[in-house]
Chain A
């Protein structure tokens, strides 16, 4: 069959559905049938799935003509990061297969696949396999795995932008490096949403300077969607903004929008906000009761799947969710999107906006609800972002030793590996392109000796070297232990919550549970629950009296920061407030800016603002880089450290996306800070290390590294297996490495990731350089200013319950308004 004939089949099928193929789809089919690799840049809901399923099916036709006997084994693999998406992808493929009456089987293999299904797949793999990055690793852990892939013509990595910049992306790079060698005729295709570094994304996917990269294309689906951003602005604007009711006082506006729309998704930034919004909406508007749902990462998987299906079937009117629903529900029509609070990133915001209103050519509307006044500046900035489409990069990881350790153990468990062969494959990946032979040997020693040299009395057993120099894991128990560990890329210290009578609700972080006493009531997943007790690492609860007072669950993890792009836009917008050119959002902020200018200023582009004032809590010094909370956390640490050299002063630190604060019982000599050039970028790395926070963060990063590299055996998250005297926290392992093996690559990785990712050292340096170019404007004030309010009230939040907090803030506002 030639290409024209194959194309005709596709075009005919499309017209039978009443569709017309988009240019990007046709371009993809062409490139694919030419045997090329590629990266397709297409957003959710654009028909990207058909862009690749079709040529895969057509290619199957070409290689397995109806007359002959079809080849065995997997013909194509579709990798999706989210298990729930696999259903949609399977349905899309089956639609084509059924209509064309082809004998192609489609199967899903993921954590959700039943044992019965898995056994079936062992004897006969489906032609088209839909799976997750973790499950792909598990396939590499099976004996004689190369046989599985020998007839595989294609691998598609869906949502590549989601995997890029995470360790699962590194896992994928490694898997691809192996598949490229055992299935050299296999095409590699990625599908990605729009990110700032698409060209690099292609490189990471296909390998730098590789055959695959040279024979590849980058196809962009130029689907210009008109996006309109509407801010929900309260009639009366608060002068002193605080992250209080989370915009809940605007709930009536929200209900109005929900009522007028067929389906609405309300995106919140954090899970606790999601819980709070759901509760409040339900209490105030019980009319939505039967058609309302909640969706976030800590809710039990089955419940989440139910919600996703219900959205697809248009059974729900409103769903309150977090970024958990950013992926998935590809084909579902969502009419309206409401974003509660700043989305922290432009790409995320644009993606969400693009989800609404599925009629082609029609405008997508996204509503923005600021949770406090200053967030309206973000809204204003986002409008510009939508117009200019400035999106974030997804920076790929480099030298993730933990993932490499896991990968090598995987190869050792299945067929074993020869270091000389695998070294080359690994070095050709983006992640490990700078890996030295010393690094490699360190890793080999780590997995085979558990150290860098052989020691007396040592009984370490993991990977063994056979007479051919092949690295293998032969011990069955250790092999099983490893297989259970594969795919545990992310681990939180969470506990499963279940009803005493049975039925799982979701997971909650340990620290939250530790604050509860038996009988306490809390709200989770939209239910009021009474805490009974913890048994076997599970939290047992029963339904609580709905009238009882309850606290909403909150989570420590998952705090996002303003992206570099977002913060740049925010600053520009703020500077614009000083010019005459103002948007409706900025106009609504006029009373706030007026109060701000009373004692302080709204900074211009060449000004860096520092405010000082005294309250009953002490002496405050507030700095405003507007560079995101992670950078501020780092900067606050460094400043506190540097200032402590000038005089023995100790600080309490607070920070948010707009700035940071140093609080102490004595006044800071700010003049000395300026005179001693404490904003210098010199010695930054050293100073970051010295501040205590860096060690704490490294300790936290090490937790993931320890789990991934197999230093800790966790069993299943939330349902751990009791192992004979092998339980250990990663904190303890961190300490023992710090004390006895400080040059351990995995330990160093924890510090490196802390500096690069958590503290965003690169961005921090840029921020300091920018500050050094600006004129420092120091405003000693009598009272806290509106800009400082969110930061100082955030600190109180930790000490006071929500009722006393709002009372206290009311008092503060009243006194400052004078």
Chain B
């Protein structure tokens, strides 16, 4: 279900949904939800199952209910494209939660800022909290540990007998943690870890650290 880790003497909890909870700050970080992606495709005539739409909100509910954070920070790509009916579902969801919501802008976030401010959601280009830099795109700035998204990291596992699996993962580099994509229908980009990297893969309902050798 979850895996606690330490970074720079701070406690973080990795959740199977792809979210990270920062214990001291009571902040829940979620990246690349891509709400509205299914609706966007359907609007353009691609029949992606509509049932998939509700799954994202169920996942959000589950993880928020689990950690009950004071603040939720979305590390970009909260909404996939132009506004569509899924916005109404999102608006409803926002009004039902008590946490403060912040969106760190990502490349897909093209919806006009006023829609977000109407819901009381602040939009920022980045966030800095005590030596930790929260962005959408990976940022290697000196002196900070970077939490980011955008990549939709995955890991490619090779088994014997020509078996292979691609699984989403938290990809940690010495000064950076790339969060997996939270949303359904988001795809993965497989990364190859170096020896100093740490990979936590998400398999079914577990977060599993793996040896990178």
Which residues of A are at the interface with B, using a C-beta cutoff of 8 A? 446, 450-451, 455, 457-462, 475, 477-478, 481-482, 640, 650-653, 692-693, 696, 710-713, 724-726, 728-729, 731-733, 736-737, 739-741, 744
Contacts and interface: CB of A to CB of B under 8 A. Distances in A.
B161 A457 contact: no
B81 interface: yes
Contacts of A446: 47
A732 B187 contact: yes
B50 A725 contact: no
A725 B80 contact: yes
B45 A736 contact: no
Contacts of A478: 44-45
Nearest to A409: B45
The secondary-structure label for the interface of chain B is loop
Contacts of A693: 162
A728 B159 CA distance: 26
Interface stretch (B11-19, B85-93, B203-211): B85-93
B39 interface: yes
Contacts of B1: none
A692 B81 CA distance: 35
Contacts of A696: 164
Interface in B35-57: 37, 39-53, 55
Interface string B53-75: 10100000000000000000000
Contacts of B122: none
Contacts of A732: 185-187
Q: How large is the interface on B (under 10, 10 to 19, 20 to 34, 35 or more residues)?
A: 35 or more
A737 B51 CA distance: 10
Nearest to A723: B44
Contact of B161 (A475, A640, A712, A733): A640
Given A653-B161, A732-B186, A739-B52, 7 more contacts: A446-B47, A475-B45, A481-B45, A725-B37, A728-B187, A729-B187, A740-B55
Given A725-B81, A736-B185, A457 B86 contact: yes
Contacts of B162: 652-653, 693
A232 to B, nearest CB: 34
Nearest to B80: A725
B118 interface: no
Contacts of A729: 187
A710 B48 CA distance: 11
A459 B39 contact: yes
B184 interface: yes
A484 to B, nearest CB: 12
Nearest to B187: A732
Interface string B107-146: 0100000000000000000000000000000000000000
Interface in B145-170: 159-164
B81 A460 contact: no
Contact of B53 (A457, A462, A692): A457
Contacts of B172: none
Nearest to B160: A652
A459 B108 contact: no
A741 B160 contact: no
Contacts of A481: 44-45
Given A652-B161, A693-B162, A725-B40, A460 B185 contact: no
B84 interface: yes
A737 B89 contact: no
A487 B146 CA distance: 47
A81 B41 CA distance: 33
A461 B45 CA distance: 5
15 contacts: A450-B42, A450-B46, A457-B88, A459-B39, A459-B85, A461-B43, A461-B45, A653-B161, A653-B162, A711-B47, A712-B46, A724-B81, A725-B40, A736-B184, A740-B52
A724 B40 CA distance: 10
Report which residue of B41, B55, B80, B86 has the largest number of chain A beta carbons within 10 angstroms of its beta carbon: B41
B50 A450 contact: yes
A736 B49 contact: yes
Nearest to A693: B162
Contacts of A477: 44
A724 to B, nearest CB: 7
A744 B47 CA distance: 11
A459 B43 contact: yes
A462 B47 contact: yes
A461 B41 CA distance: 10
A589 B23 CA distance: 74
B45 A740 contact: no
A711 B85 CA distance: 21
A450 B45 CA distance: 8
Given A457-B86, A651-B161, A724-B81, A713 B46 contact: yes
B43 A457 contact: no
Contacts of B161: 640, 650-653
A740 B41 contact: no
Contact of B41 (A451, A651, A726): A726
